[in-house]
Each structure stands twice: as structure tokens, then as C-alpha cells.
Chains A and B, each alone.
Chain A
Amino acid sequence: MNSGIDLQGTFINSLQDLGLPPGISKLLWMPLPMILMVIGATVGLLVLVWLERKISAAAQQRVGPEYAGPQGSLQAAVDGLKLIFKEDIIPAKADSALFTIGPILVILPVFISYLVVPFGQNLIISDVGLGIFLWIALSSVQPIGLLMSGYASNNKYSLLGGLRAAAQSISYEIPLALAVLAVVMMSNSMSTIDIVQQQSGYGILGWNIWRQPVGFVIFWIAALAECERLPFDLPEAEEELVAGYQTEYSGMKFALFYIASYVNLLLSAIMVTVLYLGGWESPIPLDRLAGWLGQPETNPILQVITASAGILMTLFKTYLLVFLAILMRWTLPRVRIDQLLDLGWKFLLPVALVNLLVTAALKISLPFAFGG
């Protein structure tokens, strides 16, 4: 398998040609992908917020944001600026240390999880062998931040919201992890790169969604619940809990929650793409197309085109899922907390277990199709 473009190697080599020692040139490379990923996630977030406002407006037959930038596309940036200039209030009876650490603990794991998001064979910050497991482990840290901010606000709605958030994310983590486990079992690896590799070669027919339809549905429901999106946004159910754990927050600390929830939605959509929709693979396998056209794999122009197509495909699939999530938010009613926990424990968990067993059986009986 041709590995495509190796940006890291080229960058380090060219710096060494300029006369820098290898250690320094590696050090200069290291922050670049991280900064790029943080910027990418932030821009993705702005697009996502704009989409949310526009699509919700369309769902309710309104126009939505219109004046800031063309079609109101700068509205999210303007919102962010407004939040920066707002007063940062810590309630008098609140626990100021925990009140401040809470939002940070909520947002940090989400951004660290972008470590394992692949956009191409080499377009990833770090191909850790743990891959998808790292994401699951990190997302389990978030409830602590939510509990912390809920407790520190010294407000009964906040505390209830925080407890609900933690209960919800713990209950839905189990079906989520079981759905991921079925995919991991098929690709014999937890690395996100290997998971996409295993789906490649046959275009749209090779994607995991055909082999794991049940897992796909479970994962999508559980991911939405983990992101606290409607129909599962109980922690901040405004009719019952004002705004849940966010009630007492204002200014930048509120913005941290807001950013965390949207970046997390984006991350979940990317993970669905990677696990079930073939990641950066196009619906028609590009390398075969190039083979028919008589182009060798080492052709530099072809490599650039493949890499760009990979990024575009990942983003396209991700935003398709995001569109679905937004549409669901504005059309479905909210479930009650007991219905939510019933769904998680009494339906998703058994179905996920059965799915895992069936996958294992199929892996043994049909090794050619299920990665034996």
C-alpha cells in the first residue's frame, strides 16, 4: 500500500537541508499539526454553529442570521466576540476554584481527542495504537467536569443538571464502547488509521455501515446522548432545569461549555465517519480509478489530489451527519429522564451485546468479509 504524502518527513528533511540539527527540526514540526487541528476544530465549530442557526431557521420557516457576513455566516464569530467582552461573574456563594476548573475539564478532553482524528493515511496528529480507545477513555473524563461545575454553582438546578449529565454519559458510554468494540474486532486494531484501511478498496460497498448496521444505529444514538443533543439534552432541559449546569455561568466560561458541546458533536460525527462510513475513502475507490486511467501511484499530482479528496470526503460525510443531528434536534421532542435511562440500559445495551456476539460469530464463520 502506497502511503501517499509524508508531510512530516518532507518538512523535517527540508529543514535539515537548511542546516538545522534533526532534533530542532523535529521540535519545529511538532506544534504545527496540533495548531492546525485546533484551528480546524474551531473553524469547524463556527461553521457548525452557523449551520445550526440556518437549518433551525429553515425548519421553523424563518430566515435566521442574515446581516453579519454573507448569509449571516460570520454570526458565530460575532457571538464569540460578544461572549469575550461579557462580564465574568462568579456567584457570591459559589465555590470559585471548582467553578473555574469545571468548564476547563469539560473542554480539554474534547480537544485532546482530536489527536486521533485521521484525514488521510498520514494526515493525523499521531497514529497512536490505542486510537479509538483513547477517545472513549478521554470522553469519560467529561462527566467529572460537569459534576464539578454543577456542584460549584451552589444552585439546585445546576446540581441536578450536573448529576443528570454524569448519569447520562455513564449510561451511554457502555453501548457506545460495545458498538466500537464490534468494529475493532473486525479490523483487528484500535488505531483509527487501521479501521479506515480495513474498509478501503471497494469504495462505498466496503464501508462498515453494511457490515454493522445495528452498530451504526447504536453508536449514533449513544454519540448523540454523549453530546447531550436533543432529543437527549436532559442535563440542560430548559423547561425543567433552567439551563442545568450552565445556569450560573456567563461570559467566557459559558462559552467554554458551548464550544465543548459543539466541538464534541463535530468529533462524534467524525468518529461515525471513521468507524462506519469509510473515513477519508471516496465512494468510488480513487486508486482504482487512477489505475484505470493508467496513472502510477507515485505520481505527485495524483497524491495531492487523493489527499485533498480525502480531507474533502471526511468533511463532507461529517457535515452530512451533523446536518442529520441538527435536523433531529429541531424536529424531535425531548425524552424524559426515565425514558432515556430505560433506552440506554434496557434496549441499547442488550442490543449492543447481541451485536457484538453476532459480529464475533460472523468473524469466525465468514472470515473473508468480516476481517478474520
Chain B
Amino acid sequence: MNLAEGVQLVSFIILTVMMLGAALAVVLTPNIVYSAFLLGAVFSAMAGLYLLLNASFVAAAQILVYVGAINVLILFAIMLVNKREDFAPVKYAWTRKIVTAGVCGGLFLLLGTTIITTPWGINNTAAAGDEAIYILGEHFFTDFLLPFELVSVLLLMALIGAIVLARRDIIPDLIDVATGEDLKLPERPRELIPAGSVDADEVT
């Protein structure tokens, strides 16, 4: 075994252990913020595995999209909505855990046997490496054109939906009533607060 192979093997072991450990911790920690941060570790380890497979573009895209965007979005959602609420203890809560463990174990066994028994067509040609970008681009504009365009339309719809949801004070029950030429979304009139109009009792 030469130097490069040794480094590859060691990094593969480290990355796998990191990924499995972090993935388990995501599920098992009670603190949701820790789970979100550990999810970032899982994604990073996956990017490392892509790098080992000589797919550097996919690795960088994984970091950019999953760690840099999706994980940050999850963190945002958690941090802005983090209500430290104490839930009332439920009777027989432990049965839920046992059922979950059973379902997860069954899924694991099922997937494991599928992976082992499936005759995988392993491709022995060398990975494209840096050429991968050109190959991906070609595929996007030839045989994967329709899915590519559909995904972009889907993203556009999500974008417009987000804008509609983020608009302030939309009155849902008025939307049905509002007909005619005016296609603007009805918005509740904002109260203007004049400066220096604080009530005396509020101050005291």
C-alpha cells in the first residue's frame, strides 16, 4: 500500500465514523439545536466521501447547498421559533420510543438486505474528476432537459409562494371576496403611530 492509498483508507474510516456518529447523534440528542448543528457535520462528512470518490464538484456543491443553505435555513427556523416550552409528561411515553426503535431497526434490516442482495452494476471506468462539470452541463441540456426545466419551474413556484406568504397582513377570507380587475392582494391597513403620542398612564 502506498502513501496515497493509506491516506485514502484512513480518511475513509474517519469520515465514515464521523458520519455515522453524527447521524445517530442527530436523531438521539434531545436538544434540537445540537441536532441541527450535527446535521451540518453529517453533510460535511458526506462531502468528504464524495471527494474520496473523485467527485470534487459534487462535494463542493454538497457543501454549498446542504451545509451553506439548507442547514443554515434549518438553524434559522429553529433559532427564530425556539420556544423553550416544557411539555406535560405523557403516560407510557416509553412505548413510543420502543415502537420507533422497532420501525427503524426493521427499515435498517430491509435496506441492508436489499443493498447486499442487489447485483450492483459496478462501473469500473475512471471517475471524470474535473471534467465532471462539462459532462453534467451536457446532460442538463440534452437528455435531462425536461427534468431540469421542471425543477426550475418548481423552484420558481416555491419562490413566488414564499413571497406571497411573507407579505404582511394578508387577509385570507377577503381573497375570495376580492374580485374584478384589481388583482392586488388585500392587505390590512397599517396603523400610523404619530410620534410623541404615548399615553401618560403607559409611561407611569
Binding site for B on A (CB under 8 A): 23, 26-27, 98, 128-130, 133-134, 136-138, 140-141, 143-144, 147-148, 151, 159, 162-163, 166-167, 170, 173, 190
Contact = CB atoms under 8 A, between A and B. Distances in A.
Given A98-B37, A151-B79, A141 B63 contact: yes
Nearest to A139: B68
B71 A137 contact: no
Interface residues of B, number: 24
Contacts of B111: none
A170 B72 CA distance: 9
B69 A140 contact: yes
Contacts of A129: 56, 129-130, 133
Given A98-B37, A129-B130, A144 B60 contact: no
Given A27-B3, A138-B63, A170-B69, A163 B37 contact: no
Given A129-B129, A147-B79, A173-B68, 18 more contacts: A27-B3, A128-B130, A133-B60, A134-B60, A137-B64, A137-B68, A140-B72, A141-B44, A141-B68, A143-B72, A144-B40, A144-B75, A147-B76, A148-B37, A151-B79, A159-B79, A163-B80, A166-B72
Interface string B57-101: 100110110011101100110011000000000000000000000
B106 to A, nearest CB: 34
B2 interface: yes
Nearest to A98: B37
Contacts of B2: 23
Nearest to A152: B33
B67 A144 contact: yes
A310 B79 CA distance: 47
Interface string B115-155: 00000000000000110010000000000000000000000
A320 B60 CA distance: 31
Contacts, number: 67
Nearest to B129: A129
Interface of B: 2-3, 33, 37, 40, 44, 56-57, 60-61, 63-64, 67-69, 71-72, 75-76, 79-80, 129-130, 133
Nearest to B68: A140
B2 to A, nearest CB: 6
B71 A130 contact: no
Contact of B79 (A134, A136, A163, A170): A163
DSSP majority for the A interface? helix
Contacts of B61: 137
A138 B71 CA distance: 14
A255 to B, nearest CB: 23
A198 to B, nearest CB: 16
B61 to A, nearest CB: 7
Contacts of A138: 63
Given A23-B3, A128-B56, A148-B37, A136 B76 contact: no
B166 to A, nearest CB: 12
A238 B44 CA distance: 33
Contacts of B75: 144, 147, 166
Contacts of A134: 60
B67 A141 contact: yes
A139 to B, nearest CB: 8
A26 B3 contact: yes
B57 A140 contact: no
Nearest to B2: A23
Contacts of A128: 56, 130
Contacts of A159: 79
Contacts of A190: 133
Contacts of A23: 2-3
Given A23-B2, A166-B76, A136 B64 contact: yes
B69 A133 contact: no
A151 B75 CA distance: 10
B64 A140 contact: yes
Nearest to B37: A148
